[in-house]
A = this chain, B = another copy of it.
Amino acid sequence: MTTSAETLADLSEGAVLERIFPRLPASASQLLGPGDDAAVIRAPDGRFVVTTDMMIQGPDFRLAWSTPFDLGWKAAATNLSDVAAMGAVPTALVLAIAAPPSTAVSVLEGIADGVRACCAALAPGCGVVGGDLSAADALTLAVTAFGDLEGRAPVLRSGARPGDVVALAGALGDAGEGLALLFRYGVDDAGVPDAGRADRVKAEHPRALAAQLRPEPPIDRGPAAALGGATAMLDVSDGLAIDAGRIARASGVGLDFFSTALGESPERALGGGEDHGLLATFPAGVTLPTGFRALGTVTADAGAVLLDGVPHEQGGWDPYRGWDGAA
């Protein structure tokens, strides 16, 4: 039997942890790490930012499309992005993994490698300070991420004011295009996700597939936006129009996008999900922080999202409707 064929059921929980821990990134903010009942993390300004998210095999990912490395990367990246969207610097993660006992240990090792690579690339100094291993029929990752506001006020969704500039750091539409390509071409003739066909799609559309499977949100632009005077900010997770609507409602303003700023297809830019860019508003006249580009302007139309001044559908995504159990 080769090492990679070893399953979780072949090893004790302790032995699995010994294989995974060395691969996980260390946190520079850790005062006490794994090995006790809880970890202790630095919160230098007397506060910490926290966000949590679960990714489940089936509704949230398919093993025929995502490698374990991809899963670890994406689980970390999406949570880091929520921390950054508050204007905070990510400091630490806790990671709970549930998996069938028949899962190869190498799958968990791959997840750990993806988390480590993501933190190293997008949030150096952020690392895993604790976790939990469980058994389940569906591979499940639960990540909770922490951040340090460095003494600043958090940047909320509610601070946009008429006249502000609407700006974005990150790409638009690629991740949504990647998912659409996988659903169309990454399946076999019966519609079942297929690794071989997905590989072909990845080779043909590398940018869109990478954006979907291994996103690179502009984490360090979150604190940069806070320092640059951002009045409101969020992570674009469900699509630009939907998330712009969230700022519009929370702030009691309208967000009016210029079609000329949204690329060849404004509808693709407005409708794509899982972009994980940072959408922020800045006072007019402020020099936008590096990495942000102006997309529009804030108006007085409370709760509205507009395109060239015309109200635009905000849409909606629902975790219980967007998935049928068979997928």
Binding site for B on A (CB under 8 A): 8-9, 11-13, 16, 31-32, 35-56, 58-60, 81-83, 85-86, 88, 92, 94-96, 98, 100-101, 129-138, 140, 142, 144-147, 149, 154, 156-157, 234-235, 250, 316, 318-323, 325
Q: Give the distance to chain B from A277, nearest Cβ to Cβ, in Å.
A: 13
Residue of B nearest to A238 (CB): B13
Q: Is the CB of B134 within 8 A of A59?
A: yes
Given the complex of chains A and B, what is the CA–CA distance between A100 and B36 in angstroms? 34
**Please, which residues of chain B bring their CB within 8 A of the CB of A47?**
31, 40-43
Count chain B CB atoms within 10 A of each CB in A45, A82, A88, A135 and give the residue with the most: A135
Given the complex of chains A and B, what is the CA–CA distance between A35 and B157 in angstroms? 9
Q: Give the distance to chain B from A291, nearest Cβ to Cβ, in Å.
A: 18
Q: Is the CB of B136 within 8 A of A138?
A: yes
- Of B44, B250, B322, which one neighbours A35 at CB under 8 angstroms? B250
In the complex, the count of this chain's copies comes to 2
- Of B44, B51, B54, B136, which one neighbours A37 at CB under 8 angstroms? B51
Residue of B nearest to A9 (CB): B320
Q: Which 6 A-B pairs have the closest CB atoms?
A: A43-B43, A142-B142, A38-B51, A101-B320, A37-B85, A144-B144
Q: Is the CB of B51 within 8 A of A39?
A: yes
Q: Is the CB of B321 within 8 A of A9?
A: yes
**Please, which residues of chain B bring their CB within 8 A of the CB of A50?**
38-41, 92, 94, 129-130, 144, 146
Q: Give the distance to chain B from A4, nearest Cβ to Cβ, in Å.
A: 17
Residue of B nearest to A154 (CB): B40
**Please, which residues of chain B bring their CB within 8 A of the CB of A56?**
98, 134-136, 140
Residue of B nearest to A323 (CB): B135
Q: Is the CB of A156 within 8 A of B36?
A: yes
**Please, which residues of chain B bring their CB within 8 A of the CB of A322?**
135
